[in-house]
Amino acid sequence: MTITLYSGGNVFDGTGNLLENHAVLVDGDVIKDVAPAEKHDDYQGERVDTSGGTLMPGIADCHVHLVYRGEANPSGGLEGVNPGEITLRVLENAQISLKSGITSVRDCGGRDYLEFPVRDACNSGRFFGPNIMASGKMICMTGGHGNKNGRVADGCDEVVKAVREQIHAGSDLIKIMATGGVMTPGVNPEDAHYSADEMRVGVSEAKRFHKTSASHAQGAEGIMNAVLAGITSIEHGIFMDQQCLDAMMERGTYLVPTLAAVQNILNNADKGIAGYVVEKARRVFEKHKESFRMFYKAGGRIAMGTDAGTPFNLHGENAMEMSFMVDCGMTAVDALASATSVAHSLMELDDRGQIKAGFKADMLVVNGNPAEDILMAAAKKNHRMVIKNGRKVEFP
Nearby residues of 73 by Cβ (< 8 Å), 6 or more positions away? 272, 273, 274, 311
Confidence of residue 395 (pLDDT cuts 50, 70, 90): confident
Beta strand 3-7 with 22-27 is antiparallel
Specify the CATH superfamily of domain 59-318: Metal-dependent hydrolases (3.20.20.140)
Task: List every span in the chain annotated with CATH 3.20.20.140.
Answer: 59-318
Model confidence pLDDT, tens digit, residues 96-142: 999 999 999 999 999 999 999 999 999 999 999 999 999 999 999 99
Instruction: Tell me what pLDDT residue 182 has.
Output: 96
pLDDT at 1 over 90: no
Instruction: Tell me what pLDDT residue 396 has.
Output: 73
Instruction: Tell me what pLDDT residue 274 has.
Output: 97
Torsion of CA 269, 315, 165, 200, to 10 degrees: -60
**Could you tell me what percent of the chain has a pLDDT over 90?**
99
Confidence of residue 163 (pLDDT cuts 50, 70, 90): very high
Model confidence pLDDT, tens digit, residues 301-355: 999 999 999 999 999 999 999 999 999 999 999 999 999 999 999 999 999 999 9
d(CA 294, CA 31): 36
What is the reported pTM? 0.98
Confidence of residue 196 (pLDDT cuts 50, 70, 90): very high
Phi, psi of 85 (to 5 degrees): -65, -40
Average pLDDT over residues 54-59: 98
Average pLDDT over residues 350-373: 98
Q: Diameter of the chain by CA atoms? A: 67
pLDDT at 4 over 90: yes
| Cα 186–Cα 191–Cα 194 angle in degrees, nearest 5 | 105
Model confidence pLDDT, tens digit, residues 252-311: 999 999 999 999 999 999 999 999 999 999 999 999 999 999 999 999 999 999 999 999
Q: Note the CATH number of domain 3-57+350-392.
A: 2.30.40.10
Model confidence pLDDT, tens digit, residues 204-246: 999 999 999 999 999 999 999 999 999 999 999 999 999 999 9
Instruction: Tell me what pLDDT residue 220 has.
Output: 98
Average pLDDT over residues 134-160: 97
Instruction: Tell me what pLDDT residue 22 has.
Output: 96
Instruction: Tell me what pLDDT residue 146 has.
Output: 93
**Cβ atoms of 265 and 314 closer than 8 Å:** no
Q: 270-280 as b/e, with b when 16 or more CB fall inside 10 Å?
A: eeebeeebbeb
Task: List every span in the chain annotated with CATH 2.30.40.10.
Answer: 3-57+350-392
